[in-house]
Amino acid sequence: MKRNTWFRWGVTACASIIPLVLLAIVIFLLIDSWPAMRFNGWHFLVSNQWNLGNEYGDLVTVNGQQVPPGADYGIGFLIVGTLSSAFIALLLALPVSVAASAFLAEMVPKRLQNTASLMVELLAGVPSVVFGLWGLIVLVPFMNHYIYPGLTHVLGDIPFFQPPTGAGYGLLTSSVVLAVMIAPLITSTVRGAIENVPMVQREAGLALGATRFEVLVKTVIPGVRRVIIGAGILALGRALGETMAVLMVSGNALGYLPHNIYSPISTMASFIVSQLDSALQDASGMAEHALAEIALILFAITLIVNVAARGLLWLARD
Amino acid sequence: MSYVSSEPGITPVFRPNSAAYRWRLLASTIGWSLMALMFGLLAMTLVAIIAFVIIRGGANISWATFTQTTQSYHGLINAIEGSVLVTFGALLIAAPVGIVTGIFLSEYQYLKTARLFSFLCDVLIGVPSIVLGMFGYIAMVNYLGWQFSLLAGCITLAAMIVPYIARTSEMALLQVPGNIREAAYALGAGDRTVIFRVVLVSCVPQILNGVLYAAAISMGETAPLIYTAGWSNYSWNGHFFHEPVGYLTYVIWSFISEPSAAAHQLAYVAAFLTTLIALLINLFARSTLRRKNAPH
Amino acid sequence: MKGMFKAKGLRTGSLVIKGVLAATLATASIGAANATTTIQETGSSLLYPLFNLWVPAYSKAHPDVQINAASTGSGTGIAQSIAGNVQLGGSDAYLSGAMMKKHPHMLNIPVAISSQMVNYNLPGLNGKHIKLSGPVLSRIYEGTATYWDDSAIKRMNPGVDLPHHRIVPVHRSDGSGDTFLFTQYLSFSHPYWHKKYGYGTTVNWPAVQGEIGATGNPGMVQALKDNPYSVAYIGISYKGQIDKDGLGEAKLKNRSGNFVLPTVETVPAAAAAMVPKTPKDERVSLIFAPGHNAYPIINYEYTIVSADQGDMAAPLKQFLNWAVSTKGGNASEFLKPVNFMPLPQKAAELTRAQIAKIH
């Protein structure tokens, strides 16, 4: 066996670009957000305001950093907005996707299966900003005029479902858009797993007198639950980092926590886009450093979520 | 809705005619109907979005869309050109790197480094696109001083799709049966020959599919470009640095918030075009994939 | 066997590469054909529609000059201009003292006067032009005046049948020059607001029950339309849409205590009152101007320009001088569609003196 070691080194060097890119992302974000970390401290993670300070005042020195007087940053509301919208999206998408994938795998005749699954999987190919536009023009008024009044009417006694419902921009609308975006990802993964469940497992159930539906619900789906959880967490990671679609329908709340399910929210990803322009007017640059700190925290959160998901999917493979 | 399987041999044999069993049948029917409904819900959303972009955007498409720039809201040629340029630029960087990385991941999978890199690819795929955009802004636009520029946009997008191309290439290469490799090695071929002359050529279509999907992803991205590529009302003037470029997704996001109806129409047309391109690439990639897989 | 693989693979590969090259070259050649001077502008979304009217007219008269305008936001305009990436940074506000100290070579060049409306949706009263003041708006946006028939609003509007309905305050939730202007009006007319909340492009709005955060001016108009009993601040460029949708436009209390609408009399009156207070570098807020007939929320729309331009100095000066001339960019054919007003004579003189500093 003849091995070209130089070839292997070349290939390895090229492949090393991936870890280098990751490293570069972390290093640049760390350097750029360092002044913000010094200035903000830990209270950045829990308090709720985004105050650039008096842009026309003379800069003052706080915690060794120059900032406009009154500057004060805290992203508790962003963390809450990001997590709540992503979790509600997952809550909406998971049952729909698992049902749809089981339907595709078990009920659709083989010759139609490709076309039918195309109807779901193409949804994943629609650009995020197009979801945003559709959300803005179609979904926001629809939620505002039909869904929200209905929800307050039926579930109005439950906390978080009580009015006021605002203008249709907000937590639930964002979650619905996110759910539509992540559902195809979950559906295709789970469908693959259901199709891979050995036929004998189904036959055993049927032989015992169970209906096909009972076989599905009692043996097939429990058998792929690790895949479902893994795909769900992976989709959660996607929802946490989604930017444009959320930006256009979330209402971009600033400095306060959502008081009900209809409230405007902001997510970390969308906030970076909506606030970078304002941040550039800050002569001290602190606002921009604080946005870099948000990017770094978002990076850390999605990293944890993705590692957990990959771990689960890896376990499910065995 | 039938509960009876279409596959021969797994039709339930035990079928008592009791009330309890009829209830179970009813529950099954309701269950299947609900599942069909959930599938229908997702399929209808796709139809609704496609109908939305066709009705709002397709109807407003005209000759000027492809001949005039966004200056004074006449056409989209600068944005179309920019989208194509940014995507091709990203692919020119990401495709070679991604495919070679894919080779490393699959052909050297017995190495610990390869398994680690494969995992890091997944980590990079999971990084939100706006984080990459912020990174591009800090590193290239500001630190390297490239300003809003074509290259800053291309490299940011390339960083986003490289792990994707690497992983799809890896998958494609792993599907090549091991005995082909063994036969080639037995004939005395080295790594380079085996990989390029034997393994790689047998899965070119699958690898190109990965690249095509990556092209679709970069065409539809907005967040990584806003603060790296910037925006321009003019066609690209040949500069890689210091000059912003336009792209279609920006029009969708930005023009919809302007006062004039003409701006809104362009936003819809841009949405129509980006959706059309993304979906066509997806359909094309799937059809070639199926053709290739058919003989197996 | 090997040969066959090779031939097939190579053909597919080279075809793709050829295609990519051809496409790249084709687009590159389109770009290379434009060998003219390009002035880059980016920034304020309020200024952008005006640039869109200016550019075709100016390019027609000066075919060798291209102007590339982009609507990105005032912050981006300022940052890009300071960085030297664009020649013109569109901004709704002048640079702060701290910014000027860091970048003393930057000029704040006003090119037109803009104003801001306060709009509302009160079924039956939208044609009425109800009266509002800075302190009342402060209390509405703070959540201390919660009903339309609040005694303070009633006192201002005798004879108007104000409904007993909760006020829905609408504010911008993205960073915005409009928020900057509106909160300046609140701050200058009501010291309490100034002390407690201040002004800026991004403000930590106090939480008010039922309030709405909207994105962009179109979002503000939409929120007004969708929510009866709401109130919002909107850039004057959107006046056409407000009228079309049948929404109300409030008369605002000015420094002299009169209630005025933004018109061709009241906006220039406010501008004229502020001209004597405009320093040579023209860094001044025009909000809450004195004068019996002055509209309280007006502002200079600035282009932020570096004085050091090198080769670009000549075409840039020519364009800016055209832009501020009443025979050029300040003519009503350009300003009227966006409801802007020309610079007052005296301010235009200051502006031209500033333009002359570009070298």
Please identify, among B60, B80, B107, the residue that sits at the C-terminal boundary of a domain.
B60
Question: What's residue A103's pLDDT?
Answer: 92
Tell me: do B17 and B115 sit in the same domain: no
Q: Could you give the maximum distance between any two Cα atoms of chain B, in Å?
A: 79
With a CB cutoff of 8 Å and minimum separation 6, the contacts of B23 are: none
DSSP state of A9: H
Domain that holds residue B11: 1-60
Question: What's residue C187's pLDDT?
Answer: 95
CATH code for the domain in which residue B82 is found = 1.10.3720.10
Tell me: do B221 and B119 sit in the same domain: yes
Alpha-carbon separation of residue C9 from A11, A21, B28, C5 (angstroms): 20, 30, 51, 6
Residue C213 has pLDDT above 90, yes or no: no
User: Which residue shows structure tokens 């992540």?
Assistant: A182
Q: State the amino acid at position C347 in one-letter form.
A: A
Residue C25 has pLDDT above 70, yes or no: no
Q: How far apart are CA C59 and CA C356, in angstroms?
A: 22
Q: How far apart are CA C320 and CA C311, in angstroms?
A: 15
Alpha-carbon separation of residue B154 from B151, B225, B247 (angstroms): 5, 9, 12
Question: What's residue C16's pLDDT?
Answer: 46
Q: What is the pLDDT of residues B38-92, one digit of tens each?
A: 999 999 999 999 999 999 998 888 888 898 888 778 889 999 999 999 999 999 9
Tell me: do B36 and B144 sit in the same domain: no
Number of alpha helices (DSSP H) and beta strands (DSSP E) in chain A: 15, 4
What 3-state DSSP class applies to C300? Answer: strand
Tell me: do B178 and B272 sit in the same domain: yes
Q: Does A129 touch chain B (CB under 8 A)?
A: yes
Tell me: do B29 and B164 sit in the same domain: no
Q: C169 in the Ramachandran plot: left (φ > 0), alpha (ψ -120 to 50) or beta?
A: beta
Residue A199 has pLDDT above 50, yes or no: yes
Q: What is the pLDDT of residues B22-37, one digit of tens each?
A: 888 888 899 999 999 9
Burial (CB count <10 Å: 0-12, 13-18, 19+), residue C272: middle
Tokens of C226: 């969708």
Task: Classify residue A294: in a domain, yes or no.
Answer: no
With a CB cutoff of 8 Å and minimum separation 6, the contacts of A132 are: A177, A244, A245, A246, A247, A248, A249, B252, B253
- Contact present, C100 and C117 (Cβ < 8 Å): no
Residue C33 has pLDDT above 80, yes or no: no
CB contact under 8 A, B117 and A15: yes
Tell me: do B80 and B200 sit in the same domain: yes
Question: What's residue B244's pLDDT?
Answer: 86
Tell me: do B49 and B126 sit in the same domain: no
Q: How far apart are CA B211 and CA C33, in angstroms?
A: 31
| Residue to substitute from B99, B115, B130, B219, interface A, most A β-carbons within 10 A | B130
CATH code for the domain in which residue A244 is found = 1.10.3720.10
Q: Which of A192-196, C59-63, C250-254 has the highest mean pLDDT?
A: C250-254
Question: What's residue B290's pLDDT?
Answer: 58
Question: What's residue C35's pLDDT?
Answer: 54
CB contact under 8 A, A50 and C75: no
Please report the ipTM that was assigned to this predicted complex: 0.92
CB contact under 8 A, A51 and C79: no
Interface of A with B in 35-94 (CB under 8 A): none
Q: How far apart are CA B85 and CA C151, in angstroms?
A: 61
Tell me: do B100 and B41 sit in the same domain: no
CA A236 to chain centre: 5
Chains with 3 or more CB pairs under 8 A to chain B: A, C
Task: Classify residue A307: in a domain, yes or no.
Answer: no
| Residue to substitute from A54, A137, A273, A280, interface C, most C β-carbons within 10 A | A280
Task: Classify residue A273: in a domain, yes or no.
Answer: yes
Tell me: do B160 and B227 sit in the same domain: yes
Question: What's residue C357's pLDDT?
Answer: 94
Instruction: Indicate the pLDDT class of residue C197, thresholds 50, 70 and 90.
Output: confident
Q: How far apart are CA B255 and CA B60, in angstroms?
A: 15
Q: What is the pLDDT of residues C320-355, one digit of tens each?
A: 999 999 999 999 999 998 999 999 999 999 999 999
Q: How far apart are CA C175 and CA A277, in angstroms?
A: 7
Q: Identify any residues that bridge with C69 across adjacent strands, giving them in sequence order.
A: C41
Alpha-carbon separation of residue A162 from A156, A176, A259, B233, C230 (angstroms): 5, 18, 9, 46, 20
Domain that holds residue A82: 75-279
Tell me: do B72 and B53 sit in the same domain: no
Q: Count Cα neighbours of C176 within 13 Å in the Cβ-side half-sphere.
A: 27
Contacting residues of A for B222, CB less than 8 Å apart: 127-129, 243-244
Q: Count Cα neighbours of C308 within 13 Å in the Cβ-side half-sphere.
A: 7
Tokens of A29: 């974000």
Question: What's residue A318's pLDDT?
Answer: 56
Query: For chain A, how are helix, strand and coil distributed in percent, rounded to 5?
Result: 70, 5, 25
Q: Identify any residues that bridge with C298 across adjacent strands, giving them in sequence order.
A: C115
Question: What's residue A269's pLDDT?
Answer: 95
Residue C133 has pLDDT above 70, yes or no: yes
Burial (CB count <10 Å: 0-12, 13-18, 19+), residue B240: middle
Instruction: Indicate the pLDDT class of residue C30, thresholds 50, 70 and 90.
Output: very low
Please give the tally of structural domains in chain B.
2
pTM of the model: 0.87
Q: State the amino acid at position C244 in one-letter form.
A: K
Task: Classify residue A3: in a domain, yes or no.
Answer: no
Question: What's residue B14's pLDDT?
Answer: 52
- Residue range A154-175: mean pLDDT, rounded: 85
CB contact under 8 A, C83 and B231: no
Tell me: do B174 and B121 sit in the same domain: yes
CB nearest to C213's CB, from A59, A248, A264: A264
Contacting residues of A for B5, CB less than 8 Å apart: 206, 212
Q: Pick C122 or A156 by higher pLDDT.
A: C122
Residue C209 has pLDDT above 80, yes or no: no
Chains with 3 or more CB pairs under 8 A to chain A: B, C
What 3-state DSSP class applies to C298? Answer: strand
- Residue range C140-157: mean pLDDT, rounded: 93
What 3-state DSSP class applies to C329? Answer: coil
CB contact under 8 A, B254 and C71: yes
- Residue range A201-230: mean pLDDT, rounded: 88
Question: What's residue C80's pLDDT?
Answer: 85
Please identify, among B60, B75, B99, the residue that sits at the C-terminal boundary of a domain.
B60
Q: What is the pLDDT of residues A246-268, one digit of tens each?
A: 999 988 888 888 888 888 899 99
Mean pLDDT, consecutive 10-residue stretches, chain B (296 aa), reads 45 62 87 93 94 92 88 87 95 95 90 90 93 95 89 95 93 86 84 82 87 92 91 82 89 85 91 94 79 43
Tell me: do B30 and B98 sit in the same domain: no
